């Protein structure tokens, strides 16, 4: 593997030189060069946060999957590390697919899916997938140990292991598609990390017959419940819901080892934006449950591909479960350390078609707004970023909407959720060159998407269309660069 890693590392070094950084983020993890998709192996190990990711170092298009690697002391400032895994062994000939990490007796273990095309590259109808492990003493260089779980009878699509320790055992959930094309999660266990029991339990399975695969499962305690987080494929859109190519969301339930998983709350989406997929969670050093996702969607237009790179993570978000069994997701506190140039936006009433300029070049910033919903009668009000993004309260339809319009890049779409029935609406938005993340009412709803302002138009304005909208208060900050 050493040689293959060197080859990949050199390719990245070379590609970095000609990278166009027009859309490159300042405080979100993105590859140095080449392609990135799912977060993998997120973990706090030996005094550092490690983030691995699905990576193609040789091009900005998806290809034979490697594991890229970065480390951080605070989950915000990331340092790239040498590539951790390169495919090419008999059992991972065509890719080291997604997986997770555990820290045990000072060593870092990576569990991943060994992928093989049986009928030529990209033919998903004939593949072989197994769960494999690689181990490191220094957290940087990994030695592959081969397959730990072969694919069970009847499961060709069998991938994305997530491993954790509980009640004296190691457990692994794996995403799977059965012979009837039904998505599900299989659960395995072991006492020693290397010798896994081939017998499995079906932890949860789709009730929606259209859903043929559950990718990237995660299973973890939150509050007094166990959350099953996964990325279902095949779900049909319903009105304004589930409009992305693939979805992401969670079930809430109760679970104890060797007991069935009792679902108490059915499927809910974790994020309502256009670009949010394959999130993975991990524990911060102080025990907070943190999630990061791939902030893109399969088969979408990615204008930065022409610039030599593609794909980035969302901000790390702290997850908690509220009393209604809903996940609340907020950006981690540490992000406040990036704030600078604070600008207070005083209480204002926007009348008729007025707008207020907040910043002429809002490329890397945070915006907080508190709208008075009870005293706002405008048809639409919210913020614009250039001509391409509108995030607004749609008063007539009682929805919150994020719409994008970048004809030059063939991107034009909108996503909506129900407008919360609160007196005030609190919006916290993060812009970082080619991304926008919006947190509503302290994390009750989130929207994540990539943005590609045409002609570098990052003018940030508040607007109200017809009648009036009342802003109670607001604040704007530029955010310091955390990643170079």
Catalytic positions, written as ranges: 38
Cα 7 from chain centre:
28
Nearer to ligand FRU, 247 or 478 (CB): 247
Nearer to ligand FRU, 215 or 275 (CB): 215
Binding residues for ligand FRU, rule: CB under 6 A, are 37-38, 54, 65, 97-98, 113, 159-160, 215-216, 277-278
The answer to whether 223 and 321 have CB atoms below 8 angstroms apart is yes
- The token pair that represents 67 in the structure block: 């594991």
Beta bridge partners, 101, equal 110
3-state helix, strand, coil in the chain (%, to 5): 5, 55, 40
Beta carbon of residue 294, minimum distance to ligand FRU (angstroms, whole number): 7
Beta carbon of residue 83, minimum distance to ligand FRU (angstroms, whole number): 15
Beta bridge partners, 172, equal 163, 188
How many residues appear in the chain?
484
φ, ψ dihedrals at 376, nearest 5°: -125, 120
Beta carbon of residue 389, minimum distance to ligand FRU (angstroms, whole number): 25
Nearer to ligand FRU, 159 or 307 (CB): 159
Beta bridge partners, 473, equal 370
Nearer to ligand FRU, 64 or 316 (CB): 64
φ, ψ dihedrals at 439, nearest 5°: -115, 125
Nearer to ligand FRU, 119 or 191 (CB): 119
Residue 156: CB partners within 8 Å, gap ≥ 6?
A: 126, 127, 128, 129, 177
- Cα gap 294→43, rounded to integer Å: 16
The answer to whether 385 and 336 have CB atoms below 8 angstroms apart is no
Nearer to ligand FRU, 86 or 419 (CB): 86
Beta carbon of residue 386, minimum distance to ligand FRU (angstroms, whole number): 30
Beta carbon of residue 232, minimum distance to ligand FRU (angstroms, whole number): 11
Question: Alpha carbon of 432 to those of 312, 347, 389: distances in Å?
Answer: 11, 26, 13
Q: For 283-292, b where at least 16 C-beta lie within 10 A, e where not — what string? A: ebeeebbbbb
Nearer to ligand FRU, 97 or 476 (CB): 97
Beta carbon of residue 246, minimum distance to ligand FRU (angstroms, whole number): 8
Residue number of the CB closest to ligand FRU reads 97
Beta carbon of residue 6, minimum distance to ligand FRU (angstroms, whole number): 22
- Cα gap 74→7, rounded to integer Å: 30
Cβ count within 10 A of residue 33: 23
**Of 68, 5, 77, which is closest to residue 40 (Cα–Cα)?**
68
φ, ψ dihedrals at 92, nearest 5°: -135, 40
């Amino acid at each position: 593997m050493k040689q293959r890693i060197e080859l990949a590392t050199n390719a990245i070094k070379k590609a970095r030189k000609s990278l166009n950084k027009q859309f490159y983020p300042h405080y979100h993890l993105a590859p140095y060069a080449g392609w990135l998709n799912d977060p993998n192996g997120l973990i706090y190990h030996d005094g550092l946060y490690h983030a691995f990711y699905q990576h193609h170092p040789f091009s900005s298009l998806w290809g034979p999957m490697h594991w890229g690697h970065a480390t951080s002391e605070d989950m915000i400032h990331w340092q790239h590390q040498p590539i951790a895994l390169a495919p090419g062994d008999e059992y991972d000939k065509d890719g080291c697919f997604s997986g997770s990490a555990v820290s045990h007796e000072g060593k870092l273990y990576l569990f991943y899916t060994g992928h093989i095309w049986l009928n030529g590259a990209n033919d998903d109808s004939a593949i072989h997938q197994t769960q494999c492990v690689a181990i490191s003493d220094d957290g940087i260089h990994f030695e592959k140990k081969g397959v730990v779980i072969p694919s069970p009878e009847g499961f060709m699509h069998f991938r994305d292991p997530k491993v954790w320790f509980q009640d004296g055992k190691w457990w692994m959930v794996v995403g799977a598609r059965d012979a009837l094309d039904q998505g599900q999660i299989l659960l395995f266990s072991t006492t020693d990390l290397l010798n896994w029991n081939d017998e499995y339990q079906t932890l949860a399975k789709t009730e929606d017959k259209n859903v043929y695969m559950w990718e990237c499962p995660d299973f973890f305690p939150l509050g007094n419940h166990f959350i099953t987080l996964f990325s279902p494929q095949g779900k049909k859109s319903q009105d304004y819901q589930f409009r992305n190519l693939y979805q992401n969301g969670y079930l809430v339930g109760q679970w104890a080892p060797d007991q069935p998983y009792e679902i108490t709350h059915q499927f809910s989406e974790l994020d309502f934006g256009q670009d949010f997929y394959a999130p993975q969670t991990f524990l911060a050093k102080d025990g907070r449950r943190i999630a990061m996702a791939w902030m893109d969607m399969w088969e979408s237009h990615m204008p930065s591909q022409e610039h030599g790179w593609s794909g980035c993570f969302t901000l790390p978000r702290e997850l908690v479960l509220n009393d209604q069994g809903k996940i609340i997701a907020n950006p981690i506190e540490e992000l406040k350390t990036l704030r600078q140039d604070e600008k207070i936006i005083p209480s204002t009433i926007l009348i008729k078609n007025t707008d207020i300029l907040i910043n002429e070049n809002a490329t890397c910033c945070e915006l907080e707004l508190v709208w008075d919903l009870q005293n706002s009668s405008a048809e639409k009000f919210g913020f614009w970023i250039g001509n391409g993004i509108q995030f607004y309260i749609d008063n007539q339809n009682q929805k919150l909407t994020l719409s994008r319009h970048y004809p030059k890049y063939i991107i034009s779409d909108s996503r909506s959720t129900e407008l919360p029935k609160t007196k005030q609406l609190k919006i916290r938005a993060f812009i970082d060159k080619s991304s926008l993340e919006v947190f509503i009412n302290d994390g009750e709803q989130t929207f994540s998407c990539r943005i590609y302002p045409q002609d570098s138009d990052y003018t940030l304005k508040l607007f109200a269309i017809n009648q009036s909208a009342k802003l109670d208060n607001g604040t704007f900050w530029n955010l310091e660069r955390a990643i170079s």
